[in-house]
Structure 1
Amino acid sequence: MQAATVQSLNIDSTQTDIMIWANKYKGKSRTEYLRDANEFFYFMHGRRIDEISKTEIETINENGKRTRLLNKHVEKYKQYLKERNSDSSIRRKIYGIRSLYKFLRINGYDVDHMIFETSTLKKKTKGYGFYSPVEVKRLATEALKERDGEELSTLILLAATTSLRLNALLGLEWLNIIKHEESGLYLVNTIDKGDQEATRPFEQDLFDKLFLIRNRTGSDKLFPNLKPDKVEKSIIRLNERLGLNPIRKLRFHSLRKAAIKYEMRTTGNLRRAKDQGGHNSAQVLLEDYTEAEDDYASRAGILMMKTIDESVFDSVGKEELLCMIKEINYGVYQQLAYRIQKRRFE
């Protein structure tokens, strides 16, 4: 028994540690992060993952003398990447290496993951657009015409409802779902990007759709026939068939944004928007989910000082009033209907 313990300790190595880190990720992300680590180590040390030592990771050879790896070395690597990579690729590569070094620091390596806090990570490019709630439903309906359309349609609805990323959704199994008795809703619990635990609610009708898929496939996975590339290509085809403008850059990730954008537009409640998307920073929400306002007359500082003449409401009927609310903000219309319905049961 003692020999077995010694043997198990002897297999621990830098390569083992790196693979433990990499195995936290799944599928394409894992492959990309390992490739990025190889590229970084080869640039800095002339070594691959299966060759690198702990000492080499902690230091760098400069003019025949070993010194700590510093931010200036990362900046030099970033300049090298700029010659052959897009800004988005550079951000991904730097983020991945930062994640690795943070893991190594936690596990006893004398490294500092903060040296990877470069301007590359902070630079923003225009991201994907948003689907409106109506467009989400149209997309899900049109998806039924695709191969494995039942799964794709249900995946689209679950993505918009939970704001989970594609890889997290495709990795879901039935053991990830529980019934929340107090609310009558179902909860999906999984690990999303950045190793963050994510719990999101969804309703009975969506559960029923998932259950039909399970009865048909007999699989423990929620979406056994769907792969990331297949889903992304299907979304592009669906956008074309629905006549959605390609300038909007609508992709599967746009489904994740739908409910977050809805929350920001209807209530502006940052805490609830953060909970919906699993964001750690409110700044991300302010930058990515709010828009520049050119209508100065509608600014909060102007509107809040105005005295409202409520008699104007006497001049319009119910149908006209509801129509105007829909035109101004369909989300507010839905929220109003929900609150009225809720009051009836209180």
Structure 2
Amino acid sequence: MSNLALATTDKVSYITYDKKFVSFYEQFIKSQRSKNTSGAYRTDLKQFFKFTFNKEPQFVRISDIEQLTSVDAMAYHTHLKDLKLSGKLKNASIKRKISTAREFVKSLKVDYPAINEYIFENIKLDSIDLDKEGYGNLDWEEAFLFIEYAHIEQMAENQMAMLLKLACISSIRLEALLELTWEDSFRTKMEKGVLVNYIDISDKGTRNQTPISDKLYSELREMLGVSGKLFPNLYKHKVGRLLKKIKEYFEIDPKRNIKFHSFKKCGVNRVLEKTGDLTKAQLQGKHKSIITTQSSYIALKDDLTLKPSYTLDQEIDVVGEIKHLSNDELLNAIAKLSNSAQFELLRIIQKG
């Protein structure tokens, strides 16, 4: 133990702090996958310690953690749920905060067996699907209207337009996109006799290789130069402000909750529309678990007309319905099909 002197108005008091605990706490924070994750963990643990012990992290002791029980964990969970009722938290945030505290306690137990790592086992977390506002969905055509407007307005010298376009096509997160450089992030590789340009980055502790078309690669170089950072004039808050301006121009309902992340979702949903393959949508979204893709990203699951019960009791005679149509009428009808239906039709035609 060490002593830390704190000057007060009438005397000097001494507060002891646990050097081993503080050292573990700092290393635990630093060991996370990214700066963003580290920042979130620091915030979450500070909140947990403040509520549970009424202490800042540097004044928590290992003996405090050893005395934790499931009652403390349930009390903290109740506190978080109260914050949700007041509109300050969502289920996803509560899940993350509980997970952070659980992981910290479990990690500390490795060196201190007296710690009870199971204090959170009695907690029943509400599903994040109950959150009414996730990142809103944009369809492909709508997203490219946004991109066109950003280009017309020359937002950040075309960097905003290209950032949105690359987000749609690559489904790479904003933080990673803003760090892209020509020298460190782009590679070429020969695949089956074809030279492919791809983006090679590590994001959230995972290395991702994202191929892009020659057309997009050339457009990026034409619009953004050929050296240094691709988006030197952009940073997270500026992107948010520019996106807000675009949404205001198109009079987007705020309840749709369109954020930059919506462009990543747009790409994931586009892949599913084109291929009908959930695994490929998972690859596009760079999700470790296909459950993440299925539960959080796929907009099609919210389309009531695509759910089986909508057509389950209907008998459809397609041939009888279309045999009287002219060639132009048939082509017009095909043009109105969803992307997935059009690609499925093409696959059938190509197979013969």
Determine if the alignment matches structure 1 residue 94 to structure 2 residue 122.
no
Q: What's the secondary structure of 2:158's corresponding residue?
A: helix
Are 2:272 and 2:281, in contact at CA under 8 Å, matched by a contact in 1?
Answer: yes
Q: What's the secondary structure of 1:224's corresponding residue?
A: coil
Q: What corresponds to 1:251 in structure 2?
A: 259
Q: Could you tell me the percent identity over the aligned residues?
A: 23
Q: Which amino acid in the other structure matches residue 80 of structure 1?
A: H
Q: Which has the higher helix share?
A: 1
Q: Deviations over 1:244-277 (max 9, x none)?
A: 3333221111111112222334443221121111
Moved more, 44-53 or 255-264: 44-53
Q: What corresponds to 2:10 in structure 1?
A: none
Determine if the alignment matches structure 1 residue 323 to structure 2 residue 342.
no
Shift, 1:38, TM fit: 1.5
Q: What corresponds to 2:5 in structure 1?
A: none
Are 1:98 and 1:116, in contact at CA under 8 Å, matched by a contact in 2?
Answer: no
Q: TM-score scaled to structure 2, two decimals? A: 0.73
Shift, 1:78, TM fit: 1.7
Are 1:322 and 1:333, in contact at CA under 8 Å, matched by a contact in 2?
Answer: no
Q: What corresponds to 1:159 in structure 2?
A: 167
Q: What corresponds to 2:80 in structure 1?
A: 81
CA distance in 2, matches of 1:226, 1:117: 45
1:309/1:335 CA distance change after superposition, 3 Å: closer
Q: What corresponds to 1:136 in structure 2?
A: 143
1:264/1:291 CA distance change after superposition, 3 Å: farther
Residue of 23, 28, 33 corresponding to 1:18: 28
Residue of 215, 218, 233 corresponding to 1:208: 218
Shift, 1:287, TM fit: 3.4
What's the Cα RMSD here? 3.7
| Consecutive unaligned residues in structure 2, runs of 5 or more | 1-19
Are 2:74 and 2:120, in contact at CA under 8 Å, matched by a contact in 1?
Answer: no
Q: Which amino acid in the other structure matches residue 145 of structure 2?
A: R
The within-5 A match list for 1:144-155 is 144=151, 145-155=153-163
Q: Deviations over 1:9-48 (max 9, x none)?
A: x9x93144123235x3225x54343122122123334443
The within-5 A match list for 1:1-346 is 13-22=23-32, 24-27=33-36, 29-54=37-62, 56-57=64-65, 59-60=66-67, 69-84=68-83, 85-87=88-90, 88-98=92-102, 100=104, 112=117, 115=120, 118-120=123-125, 122-124=127-129, 125-126=131-132, 127-144=134-151, 145-174=153-182, 175-182=184-191, 183-193=194-204, 195-212=205-222, 215=225, 218-219=227-228, 221-288=229-296, 289=298, 290-291=301-302, 293=304, 310=319, 313-333=322-342
Shift, 1:114, TM fit: 8.9
CA distance in 2, matches of 1:257, 1:45: 40
CA distance in 2, matches of 1:327, 1:279: 31
CA distance in 2, matches of 1:225, 1:118: 45
CA distance in 1, matches of 2:140, 2:111: 48
